[in-house]
Amino acid sequence: MTRDPHQQAQEWIALTGVDGLGLDDAQHSQLQTHLRECDSCREYAEATGQVIRSLRSVPMAATPVLVRRTQARVRQHAQLLRQQRERLWMVGVACAGIGFSAAVTLPLMWRVFSWLGAWAGVSNPVWETGFTVFVIAPALLVSVLLLVRGTHVTDASGRWQH
């Protein structure tokens, strides 16, 4: 089934503008031939050209104030992101340090508690419980203190507090 040549021509005009840029050579030639022969499609092409000229005739500019304000906001935000990244990096280094320290000291502390348990004559579950409390007590204490002070690392939307 062949397409209606008028509709085809009008679609090409609408999609590419009046100059037909974007059509291949055969389509361009076909369109030009059709426009020479068809008054209604030529009128459509002229109307399209007028619409496009109208659209392009309204220059709309961003004000210098808007541009400066945007640039300032972007720079400020970039600074904020940099600080966040540095903070995260420091937290990461601290976590790595703590992890390393824990890996080194925990076996030693385990031995110390074991020796203390034997020396004091208490059963294994007792000194093991003491060891567990000793290990998690600092973290528990800090968590309770932060909760009491109402301090949170992030706000309600999950953003970092500064």
Partner 1 sequence: MNAAALYFVNGMESETSAIARGLRRRDPDLLDRLIEQYQHRLLRYLTYLTGHRELAEDLFQETWIRVLERGHQYDGKHEFSTWLFSVARHLCIDSMRKKNPVSLDGLLDDSNDARAPLDPVDIRPSALEVIAQHEHADRINAALTGIAAEYREAVVLRFQEGLTLDEIAAVTGAPLGTIKSRLYRGLNLLMPLLKGAQA
Binding site for partner 1 (CB under 8 A): 10-11, 14-15, 17, 22, 47-48, 50-62, 66-67, 69-71, 73-75, 77-78, 81-82
Q: Judged by CB, which is closer to partner 1: 7, or 29? A: 7
Q: Judged by CB, which is closer to partner 1: 56, or 149? A: 56
The answer to whether 108 and 79 are in contact (CB under 8 A) is no
Q: Judged by CB, which is closer to partner 1: 21, or 148? A: 21
Question: Closest separation between CB of residue 152 and partner 1, Å?
Answer: 22
- What are phi and psi for residue 157, nearest 5 degrees? -90, 5
Q: Judged by CB, which is closer to partner 1: 11, or 140? A: 11
Question: Closest separation between CB of residue 14 and partner 1, Å?
Answer: 4
The answer to whether 117 and 126 are in contact (CB under 8 A) is yes
Question: Closest separation between CB of residue 57 and partner 1, Å?
Answer: 4
